[in-house]
Amino acid sequence: MTEQEHRILLTNPEENPKERVDRELGELLQGLRVQSTGVQVLFAFLLTLPFSAGFSRVDEFGKWLFYAALVSAAVASICLLAPAVQNRILFRSGLKEIMLHRANELAVVGGIALAISMTCSTGLVVEVYLGATPAILIAAGVVLLSTWLWFVQPLITLQRNRDRIADS
């Protein structure tokens, strides 16, 4: 582990629990702003797709990919926007710790839904222009890359650093 990674794992001893929760919630909401913008662009694209001229060329398999992409983009949008809406409703309630844990769970579910939507959207576009086999291969690449970078790699990092995290 690099020195920088080690420093990141350590908590600031001068930070009290309220300051820590405030900082963590701010960091989480900032990350969700970035994610929600991306999913909203994808969702908007998917909402307009059936009204475009070329949509009639989409076969039955492509339509199922479209439906899966659309629904998972809607789920991702809801999950990624929920923490900001809940933050407004729970403003000054003293429930930031609960909100932080809930927002973290929603962010993970939103990330899963976003990965599904991106995989299906990519598969749909490739399937229309190149056929089912390239679509399956490229979609598999998208799902593997997003699964590795967004979920597996951080979980491995957590597992490898379990002792250090418990000590901090």
| 80 vs 91, higher pLDDT | 80
Helix, strand or coil for residue 58?
coil
Q: Are 113 and 68 in contact (CB under 8 A)?
A: no
| Side-chain half-sphere CA neighbours of 32 within 13 A | 27
Compute how many other C-beta atoms are within 10 angstroms of the C-beta atom of residue 140: 12
Look at residue 166 and tell me whether its pLDDT is greater than 80: no
* Residues 77-105, mean pLDDT to the nearest whole number: 89
Note the pLDDT of residue 9.
45
Q: Cα torsion for 72, 78, 79, 82, to the nearest 10°? A: 180
Look at residue 69 and tell me whether its pLDDT is greater than 80: yes
Q: What is the DSSP letter of 12?
A: P
- The backbone region for 131, taken as left when phi is positive above 0, alpha when psi lies in -120 to 50, beta otherwise, is left
Highest-confidence segment of 16-20, 70-74, 86-90, 128-132: 70-74
Relative orientation angle of helices 60-89 and 96-130, to the nearest 10 degrees = 160
* Residues 96-107, mean pLDDT to the nearest whole number: 90
Residues 6+ apart with CB under 8 A from 11: 20, 168
| 35 vs 79, higher pLDDT | 79
Q: What is the CA radius of gyration of the chain?
A: 20
What digits encode the pLDDT tens for the residues 108-158?
A: 999 999 999 999 999 999 999 899 999 999 999 999 999 999 999 999 999
CA distance 12 to 33: 25
Q: What's the whole-number average pLDDT of the chain?
A: 88
| 70 vs 24, higher pLDDT | 70
Q: Are 76 and 110 in contact (CB under 8 A)?
A: yes
| 91 vs 72, higher pLDDT | 72
| Tokens (6 digits) for 168 | 């901090």
Note the pLDDT of residue 12.
64
- The backbone region for 32, taken as left when phi is positive above 0, alpha when psi lies in -120 to 50, beta otherwise, is alpha
